[in-house]
Amino acid sequence: MKATVAWCGELGFDCVMDTGESLHLDGNGQDLSPMQAVLMSVGACSSVDVVEIMKKSRQALQGCECIITAERAENPPRIFTHIHAHYQVTGVDINEKQLARAVQLSTEKYCSVMLMLNQAVEINTTFETIAPVA
């Protein structure tokens, strides 16, 4: 895996993966900041795991949303000090034990982003099931 991050003026950076995907990050708040990208990556990485585990468990999953809140240190470096991920899973007859297991496996075994951060950040999770609207 390889990425190129090129300064494009002010505090903006164009980021391009060797596979061609790109993203613009900005330290001035004009666009997505690097820390916002990290936080969204926590939710996306973990949600991939939760969705895959629930599908393998033959759960009738119709939706998965991860709402992530974070606290940062007041002084530089302003690292995340706490991250909370709340999963809202929609589907028919979703087994809460299966969902709890999927979230646990993601946070403790599979989510590489969470596992990288958990040495420095307190991370906790909650979840809920939501019945689909008929």
Percent of the chain clearing pLDDT 90 (strictly above)? 93
Q: Give me the residue label for tokens 């993601």.
A: 106
Work out the end-to-end distance of the chain between its first and last CA atoms, rounded to an integer number of angstroms: 44
84 vs 81: CA distance, rounded Å: 10
Q: Could you report the per-residue pLDDT of 31-88, keeping only the tens digit for each? A: 999 999 999 999 999 999 999 999 999 999 999 999 999 999 999 999 999 999 999 9
pTM of the prediction? 0.92
The partner residues of 89 in beta bridges, in order of sequence, read 64, 129
The domain spans of the chain are 1-32, 34-130
Class of domain 1-32: mainly beta
The predicted structure's pLDDT at residue 22: 97
The predicted structure's pLDDT at residue 133: 80
Over the Cα atoms of the chain, what is R_g? 17
107 vs 51: CA distance, rounded Å: 13
Q: Is the pLDDT of residue 30 over 80?
A: yes
- What is the CATH superfamily name and number for domain 34-130? K homology (KH) domain (3.30.300.20)
- Which residues have C-beta within 8 Å of that of residue 63, sequence separation ≥ 6? 88, 89, 90, 91, 130, 132
The predicted structure's pLDDT at residue 56: 97
